[in-house]
Chain A
């Protein structure tokens, strides 16, 4: 199945939208400022609608089926979110309007700040960062600024566990800090001996994902944090895995100093085929003054007759602005909707059932797939499909074969410390039948790996395209549609 490109569908003279003729006198753009031809496709509305509808049919999505992509929290995205975010009172507000005209937006942001602080146990928060990685950038910059503000200039190294997501080390480089790799121990926890050895007065901090990317809650988390604090470092929490902790434990209580949220994971805002995300950053009171500006606050207290006036404040030692305006507002509306509908009890149920689902699925495949760390997992787990009899079968083959059973594969080859990692995160929104069907498919594939390995090697068989030639793509680098003009 191939769909022509927009350019191939184009027919000169067509147009998908009409605009009213100009109703004002004519003004000429000076001729030397006018561009040459605009090489854009020409299509009618129906051409465009059919084209993108065809494209949509070639996508797998949560709405279509089970999407157990580890570390990504592909939970169902409630439809009501799409309605609330599009309410005209939100969608048509310009970010630079006078404060009196945007009190609804500011109140929502203020409340969301309060809710996220309560959920995470932190003292202050900024909703500005655009995604998880930008939250990390913001948080690590805050750590760096904190040390510098104290004249503590030696702290240039950040500890990163070997199971960490790639954005963690990449973030440190962007902030200009050095990455030090920290090994995991045999139970998948941070190796305490190594941590003790590395920690000295050059350590700015540790970036810890807890539960980590193996889906394991670090059994020594309090000790890990104490060791880093004792050495004068701060602890960053990668909140990508917060879906395991709602009402279960608050990172602020555990001793973390900074954390980012992924509203597009934990709080049900859709991933959109790769974004927009939203990555608010929360901090302890000692770091509050470093948050990016602006932060939503009360700028005039309320009186008996008048509600307070909400507005923007700039933290005194702010690391500055990381994005234009105030954050991914539309995502904030969705997350707010979700938190309001769930309340305290609903949030705890989310994490309980996310962890129940993961452990249930694990119980169904244990024994057939290798479990590098045999522990109770949190919201996700990592297994390997490694069988000595069929050494040619790899995680990739299992992943591709799952597509033939109409499932999205788990994350593979991450975390890096498990060579043939299949990282499975079912989320709380999946029912038992779906989990059973997925477990059956995994078991069937384990069998096929032995009886008909070629079936896996050549998978997928039932998808719009089969395995694609990535080497050719990187070598030839065709990054734009072929244009008729280039003939």
Chain B
């Protein structure tokens, strides 16, 4: 199948090595454990494998069969056909990390363009080549801030309205690391916290304040005061962003962010049950030596032609080993390429248009739902494409009904905080039509009745 050797070739090769049998190459392996019998099913052909995988895949019901109002960190957007056509080129997907620049200019230039687009989207000066996902990028931002202050400011303040999975990942990375402390206003994701409460926690032990923009509940908070107070006390501030929103929203750079991280999945990457996605991390030029992960820089070759290389590698594990800024090696290269292609196809107009459509449709949905008896949309703040609905009955109950009507309902917020029983997080993107929204509102109403 994937092993091309004929019997004759194998024999010739064994003769060249000077052994009789392939088995003779494994004498270093302890006899007792050599050649175990594996209990896997027998191998099958490509045709059979495709049939089996098709059977699994059709056992799912997906956002393609249903009309989806589910977001909470992963979003269904339209992906132009050219994205997949291009990332499916073997020249891109079957290459390794571009360690040999002379024969990797394609990957390197694409990463360089990715860095530029992310820097421009976020309003920052530099971006790295990617992280595993938004949450690990956030965790790396925490480590970056901690090391920036050489461990002298052990405190990292995280807003309670940051995606709860991000907070879990950040704790796996940071809690108990040296003397680092993660501080939150509330333990669980919560609607009550205000930026002022975060300001109150600031002190000269604080390395970093981390907020989400728009937050996990879709709200656009006013961070002006928090940014100012953070800087006054000498702390850094990081924004976790939704890249789609930045098509129209004021950039974290304009607002004074020191680090910006986020999940790049909305930029042309399929939902794919949660991965592979794309973490990004952008910052100011002053912090570039503290950044984790790979960076591509422009240079010239022997003949003066422009070219690109991996640069500042002395931060990385393969050079610095235990003193590296991070252990990251493979990142999300192909996903960064997908995002680069998506952003180039949409361009200035398309990015704004998608953001605008998400904004309009979410607001229309919120207005219709807010009118339903027993439902209330919590909109004390401006929101982007996601909002919280207080429902008259249990959200799982509603979602069960919605599913029967062909809808994927929003996230049941009781699952992340019991205080938020009967609260649903609804997401609306450009793929949802006016008719879908109206039918969804109708289905919500019916679902709350029985």
Contact = CB atoms under 8 A, between A and B. Distances in A.
A419 to B, nearest CB: 16
Nearest to B220: A33
Given A55-B105, A353-B5, A249 B301 contact: no
B105 A270 contact: no
A432 B38 contact: no
B109 A3 contact: yes
Contacts of A29: 248-249, 359, 382
Interface string A469-487: 1101110111111010000
Contacts of A33: 220, 249-250, 382
A107 B56 contact: yes
Given A274-B294, A464-B105, A61 B274 contact: no
Given A22-B360, A40-B117, A167-B327, A96 B70 contact: yes
Contacts of B12: 432
Interface string A1-16: 1110111001000111
22 contacts: A15-B350, A19-B353, A29-B382, A60-B95, A61-B94, A63-B91, A77-B93, A82-B93, A93-B272, A94-B62, A97-B70, A97-B408, A167-B317, A249-B36, A320-B169, A341-B46, A408-B100, A465-B105, A470-B299, A474-B312, A479-B115, A481-B112
A364 B15 CA distance: 12
Interface string B322-345: 111011111111110100110111
Given A1-B305, A36-B251, A271-B330, 16 more contacts: A35-B251, A38-B120, A59-B103, A92-B64, A93-B63, A176-B177, A253-B36, A272-B337, A273-B106, A340-B49, A341-B46, A409-B100, A458-B302, A466-B102, A468-B299, A474-B311
Contact of A34 (B45, B68, B173, B250): B250
A181 to B, nearest CB: 9
Given A102-B273, A130-B132, A364-B16, A432 B5 contact: yes
Nearest to A140: B327
Given A19-B430, A133-B330, A94 B103 contact: no
B130 to A, nearest CB: 7
B117 to A, nearest CB: 7
Q: Which of A175, A324, A337, A414 has the most CB of B within 10 A?
A: A324
B13 A356 contact: yes
Closest 3 CB pairs of A and B: A325-B274, A89-B57, A272-B334
Contacts of B176: 176
A330 interface: yes
Nearest to B22: A352
Interface residues of B, number: 205
Contacts of A43: 344-345, 347
A420 interface: no
A268 to B, nearest CB: 8
A326 B275 contact: yes
A399 interface: yes
Interface in B1-35: 1-5, 9-10, 12-14, 16-19, 22, 25-30, 33-35
Given A80-B46, A176-B176, A463 B102 contact: yes
A440 interface: no
A444 interface: no
Contacts of B107: 55, 59, 273-274
Nearest to B57: A89
B403 A277 contact: no
Given A133-B328, A270-B93, A480 B136 contact: no
A300 to B, nearest CB: 16
Contact of A477 (B40, B70, B99, B288): B288
A264 interface: yes
Interface centre among A40, A339, A375, A428 (most CB of B within 10 A): A40
A182 interface: no
A57 B91 contact: yes
Contacts of A166: 316-321, 324, 329
Contacts of B309: 468, 470, 473
A407 B360 CA distance: 53
Contact of B113 (A6, A108, A221, A478): A6
B116 A344 contact: no
B110 A55 contact: yes
Contacts of B52: 340
Contacts of B348: 38-42
B37 interface: yes
Given A49-B82, A62-B94, A400 B335 contact: no
Contacts of A464: 102-103, 105
Interface stretch (A67-75, A193-201, A448-456): A67-75
B333 A276 contact: yes
Interface string B198-234: 0000000000000000000000100000000000000
B354 A376 contact: no
- Most chain A CB within 10 A, of B307, B359, B430, is at B307
Nearest to B68: A94
B80 interface: yes
Contacts of A360: 13, 16-17
A411 B57 CA distance: 38
